[in-house]
Chain A
Amino acid sequence: MTVTSAMSGRVVRPTSLEEAITACTQRPDARIMGGGTLVVAERALGISTTPAYLLLSGIPELHGVTPGGAAATGGPSRIGAQTTLRALLDAALSPMLDVALRSLATPQIRNRATVGGNIAERRPAHTLAPCLLALDASVGSAGPDGTRRRSIRDFVAEGLGEGEIIVDVALPARGGFQRFVRVAPRNGPGYAIASVAVSIDPTGRSVHSGIGGSGSTALPGTAADDFLAEAIDWASGAAPAGAAEEYGRLLAAACDPPTDDRASAGYRRHAIAVMGRRLIEAWNEEQQRG
Chain B
Amino acid sequence: MDDERINLSLRVNGATHRIEDAWYFETLLSVLRYRLALTGTKQACETGSCGACTVLLDGRPINSCIALAADVDGDVTTIEGYSPADGSLTPLQEALLAAGDVQCGYCLPGMVLAGSAFIEEHPNATEDEVREGMCGNLCRCTAYLSMIEGIREASAR
Contact = CB atoms under 8 A, between A and B. Distances in A.
Interface of A: 1-6, 8-11, 13, 33, 36-37, 39-41, 43-45, 50, 52-53, 55, 57, 86, 102, 105-109, 111-112, 188-189
Contact of B71 (A4, A86, A189): A4
B71 A33 contact: yes
Given A9-B3, A106-B135, A111 B60 contact: yes
8 contacts: A5-B7, A6-B8, A10-B6, A11-B24, A40-B27, A44-B65, A53-B24, A108-B114
Nearest to A107: B136
A10 B16 contact: no
Interface size class of B (residues with CB under 8 A): 35 or more
A18 to B, nearest CB: 20
A33 B68 contact: yes
A11 B67 CA distance: 14
Contacts of A50: 25
B61 A4 contact: no
Contacts of A43: 25
B135 A189 contact: yes
Contacts of B133: 107
A112 B63 contact: yes
A104 B64 CA distance: 18
Contacts of B57: 111-112
A108 B8 contact: no
B86 interface: no
A277 B62 CA distance: 38
Contacts of A86: 60
Most chain B CB within a 10 A radius of its CB, from A105, A107, A108, A109: A108
A102 B136 CA distance: 12
Nearest to A53: B68
A11 B6 contact: yes
Nearest to A38: B66
A108 B110 CA distance: 10
Contact of A108 (B7, B10, B73, B136): B136
A109 B136 contact: yes
